[in-house]
Amino acid sequence: MRNAFFQALIELTRADKRIFLVVADLGFQAVEPFVEEFPDNFVNVGIAEQNMTGVAAGMAMSGKIVFTYSIGNFPIMRCMEQLRNDVCYHNINVNVVSVGAGLAYGSMGATHHCTEDLAIMRALPNMTVVAPGDSIEVGMATRAIAQNPGPCYLRIAKTGEPIVHKSDIDFRLGKAIMLQDGSDLTLISTGEMLYNTVKSAEQLAKKSIQARVLSMHTLKPLDIGAVVAAAQDTGTIITVEEHNPTGGLGSAVAEVIAEHDDLRPKFKRLALKQQFCCDVGSQDYLRNINGLSIEGIINSVISVM
């Protein structure tokens, strides 16, 4: 996903020199191609995320299209006041990119886990929140948020993630992508949980359980129509996210269901536990102990069905 982001950013900057990349002394071995081609469009502020956000806000208020970039929760948690007051209050084109979301930096402990970000960024006025499901979605999301006039948050994984989409997709901010249809239940995924969700649906089909699969790459604005249709058509909705259960995808979908009096689907959130993850291991290991592996998703679906 990281490589797809930088490739899209390079192509965008070739066409529009208003685009700038601001980093906080992270991202090396990934940012170099951009820096080599556009040295005048790159700023490294050092290990100072608050300053990174303030600089980006000033540039955006001068007519630039700015992307800030760092790992995990660093471009979010360390500079929340600047994001709220400098960026969102002025509704300017600053695009915050977090690489290694969820438990991607699992072996480095809770300080490097990015598991509350969707809830926090969803709460900020004017902020668009995007969590693509694979590198194909990342490239299209990068192009889409560059054209979006207000602040955006782009949550991506690191590198080496499997590509889920095998053909061209219709990517639009605020519109879910249906990867397959089904009548028994709907699995709604956000971010890089898409691969495990699709593979779970394939295994469930062998058990005669037909699942609709939605990639909800945009959490704000949420595709309300897709949620309503899923509830009406399949009667059961299960959300899948590598985020704690408060304020993320599951909460957003639950809000839609609760505000529609005619919807009464079965509903379950698959997410991380509401606690700091003190286990140490790879991302796959941590997903497994949190019930977000393919097997864990399948078992949860069967229990609900």
* Prediction pTM value: 0.95
Distance CA(237)–CA(101), nearest Å, equals 24
User: Would the pLDDT of 282 be above 80?
Assistant: yes
Dump pLDDT digits (tens) for 122-135. 999 999 999 999 99
Dump pLDDT digits (tens) for 57-87. 999 999 999 999 999 889 999 999 999 999 9
Amino acid at 165: H
pLDDT at residue 228 in the model:
98
Dump pLDDT digits (tens) for 203-254. 999 999 999 999 999 999 999 999 999 999 999 999 999 999 999 999 999 9
Q: What percent of the chain has pLDDT over 70?
A: 100
pLDDT at residue 108 in the model:
79
User: Would the pLDDT of 302 be above 80?
Assistant: yes
Cβ 213 vs Cβ 187: under 8 Å: yes
Spell out the long-range contacts of 72-75 with Cβ–Cβ below 8 A and sequence spacing 24 or more: 72/98, 72/99, 72/100, 72/101, 72/104, 72/105, 72/112, 72/113, 72/114, 73/98, 73/112, 73/113, 73/114, 73/116, 73/117, 74/24, 74/26, 74/49, 74/98, 75/24, 75/49
> Measuring CA to CA, how many Å separate 264 from each of 9, 49, 138, 220, 236?
43, 44, 33, 23, 9
Dump pLDDT digits (tens) for 198-212. 999 999 999 999 999
User: Would the pLDDT of 106 be above 80?
Assistant: no
Strand partners, 68: 22, 96
Distance CA(107)–CA(97), nearest Å, equals 21
Domains of the chain plus CATH, in order, are 2-156 (3.40.50.970), 177-304 (3.40.50.920)
* Local structure of residue 276 (DSSP, 8 states): -
> Measuring CA to CA, how many Å separate 180 from each of 136, 171, 210?
17, 16, 9
